[in-house]
Chains A and B, each alone.
Chain A
Amino acid sequence: MKKKLFAITCAALICASFAGCGSSTESTSSAGNSAADSSAAGNLSAKTDALKAAVETPEMVVLTKDTVKDILGVDSADVTDFSALNCGNGAYPDAFGIFTAKDADAAKRVEDALKKFVEKRNKDFKDYKPNEMYKLDDSFVETNGTTVVFAICADNSKAKELLK
């Protein structure tokens, strides 16, 4: 009985050490996010991270409350939390994100801003890179209560599934 107990203890220790390795990786990742912006954290960034892992994307930039207005046109004052990524270098139209708006009116403003952004991406890439237009053809901006999600990526149905 003692030997069994000892074996179980050893197994538990090993599991704990592996779990420790895992958490160090995660903490690196979350440290990166917090350096980028404390507002783009938690559950929302977990969703965008999941999408980034599931769909092939170019190099993406994590948007912060200081940059989200310039890039997406979303006023950070309208959101309580968000996580959004954008291909920063002009090569690809990829961008996606999830926003929690302060209220229904703010959600409408966020939705309108994102629709304008998608429209501009359409205009920019239509002649410039027609082979990338498939990402825009089924891109979406959707609002559910105070949550607004959008995506322009290689698999927008996957994006819809993961961001909701």
Chain B
Amino acid sequence: MSVYRPPNKKNTYHKIGIKNSAGSGGKQGSKYNMPKKQKLPTAVVVTNILMICVILAVCGVVFAISFNNAKYDKADASKAAERSKAAEALMSTTSSENSESSKDESSSAVSSETVSETSQVTASVAESSAAAPVETVSDEFDKEFFKDDLFIGDSIFTGLYGYSYIDRANVAATMGYTPYGAQELPFDDTFYSGSAVDYAKEKQPKHIIIMLGSNGLSDNTDFDDFSNGYKGLLNRLKTECSEAKILVVSVPPVTANTEYTQITNTVIDTANEKIKSLCSELGVTYYDFNDSVLKDANGYFKEEYAELDGLHFKGATYPILLSNVEKLLKSE
């Protein structure tokens, strides 16, 4: 009985290989006593490849560590540079209520104590995957310092409690709020039924920090009306909260690629001049956050401090504002 056996391909190939090897290298094989050219075992080849991978991985890790160290060194250097710039800029902060001598005290206090003592920030930010670490000026502040204060503002100031930097009870802010709105309209009727001025009157804060003016700004802005709105708000707060120290923060700039195309930095600068002048007239402190921190060399809102829309603040911007405001208020 005959049984069919398929040809053994492996053996056939092996035989051919030997034959070919002998044919091509026969002479050399006979001279150096290398009769067969042996194929390296697969295991050895795989091992070698793996070892190369290991070496490359180790090199990669070493490179990554070195690169990170270099990056943080660079970040530290620019942080220091920005701190000194902020300290200089704070010196130009005006307070018409105070004399030139108090301004000098303010600036010297800031420059000698650029980094404040305690940060009690509790917010946690889920950074977007592409977000790079923000190079900041001093961003340390004492949340306790603001416990008796009130922040009045628009959507930007809602971020003060949105990021938990300031307690909800210390913020009277909402989307679209204006100086007129702050006198008449509720800022959050789920929290308090009255206006920001009503809340201030009830709360009697130690300090009132205001940042309003972005809403409604455009090339067609009637700046007399704008000033009247601000003046009305400041006068009412001065009347209703006579013991409170009032500080007005500049209207922030927009980035080069802002979503809000109707708002230009020229208009914002004009608005800030009006506010500054008004503060001088009414004896209220004005803080120019724009020139000291937010603006780049071309006058635009620095991208690293701005939300994607080019107007609102990123979470990391608030502590810088609070740090500077704290220093300013402490120095007065």
Name A residues whose Cβ lies closer than 8 Å to a Cβ of B. Answer: 3-4, 6-7, 10-11, 13-14, 17-18, 32-33, 35-37, 52-53, 57-62, 64, 66-67, 70-71, 73, 85-92, 116, 120, 124-125, 127-129, 131
Contacts and interface: CB of A to CB of B under 8 A. Distances in A.
Nearest to B173: A90
29 contacts: A3-B41, A4-B43, A6-B47, A10-B50, A10-B51, A10-B54, A14-B57, A59-B315, A60-B126, A60-B128, A61-B124, A61-B125, A62-B126, A64-B122, A64-B124, A64-B164, A67-B122, A67-B123, A71-B162, A89-B162, A89-B307, A89-B312, A90-B156, A91-B308, A91-B311, A92-B308, A120-B190, A124-B175, A128-B176
A105 B227 CA distance: 52
B126 A90 contact: no
Interface of B: 41-44, 46-47, 50-51, 53-54, 57, 122-129, 131, 154-159, 161-164, 168, 173-176, 188, 190, 259, 307-309, 311-315
Nearest to B174: A124
A36 B124 contact: yes
A89 B44 contact: no
Contacts of A6: 43, 47
Nearest to A40: B124
A66 B53 CA distance: 48
Nearest to B155: A90
Nearest to A85: B126
B54 A14 contact: yes
B50 A11 contact: yes
B124 A62 contact: yes
Contact of B314 (A18, A35, A89): A89
Contacts of A35: 124
B159 A90 contact: yes
Nearest to A91: B312
Nearest to B47: A7
B137 to A, nearest CB: 19
B51 A59 contact: no
A62 B125 CA distance: 6
A57 B127 CA distance: 10
Given A14-B57, A91-B312, 6 more contacts: A10-B51, A10-B54, A66-B164, A89-B314, A91-B309, A129-B175
A59 B125 contact: yes
B131 A59 contact: yes
Contacts of B123: 61, 67, 88
A55 B46 CA distance: 41
